[in-house]
Amino acid sequence: MTPSDNAIHTAIEQAISEHELILFMKGTPEQPRCGFSARTVQVLENLNARYAAVDILPDPRIRQELSAISGWPTIPQLFHKGELVGGCDIVVEMYESGELAEQLGLPGAGEAPAQDGADAPLSVENRLN
């Protein structure tokens, strides 16, 4: 591992620990760059979840280090309270079963979400490149 890779590894671990809910994705929530990332964002938006997002595309080392940390090879990756929830398929399956809303402590599908005006995703400055 080169010193810059170590810095990326540390920055990813710090981002995961600093944000209760964080999505590593291709693109941004406003402009996803792949269908799987777009689908995962839609699930989080449907739940009115507050989350941070990190675009892994600017530097291929971000994806490499993220997968080394999580043990998960594909993008997107959703973390909750420092633990990997999963990728798109798992997130969608958990959403459809109501398990994701329960795990995140949010109203599930069919329930009226709380309207506190804070439903926009958080933005995390990409310090990983």
Checking if the pLDDT of 129 tops 80, the result is no
Q: Is the dihedral of CA 18, 20, 26, 30 positive or negative?
A: negative
pLDDT tens profile 6-22: 899 999 999 999 999 99
Residue 124 confidence (pLDDT):
56
CATH class of the domain defined by 3-104: alpha beta
Residue 36 confidence (pLDDT):
97
Sequential DSSP letters for 61-123? HHHHHHHHHHS--SS-EEEETTEEEE-HHHHHHHHHHTHHHHHHT---TTSPPP-SS--SPP-
How much is the pTM?
Answer: 0.81
- The overall average pLDDT reported for the chain is 86
pLDDT tens profile 55-78: 999 999 999 999 999 999 999 999
Checking if the pLDDT of 92 tops 60, the result is yes
Mention every residue, 6+ apart, whose C-beta is less than 8 A from residue 49: 21, 104, 106
Residue 107 confidence (pLDDT):
80
Residue 54 and residue 77: Cα distance in Å, rounded?
Answer: 10
Tell me the pLDDT band of 109, cut-offs 50, 70 and 90.
low
More confident residue, 113 or 63: 63
Q: Is residue 88 exposed (0-12), middle (13-18) or buried (19+ Cβ within 10 Å)?
A: buried
Q: Domains of the chain: which residue ranges?
A: 3-104
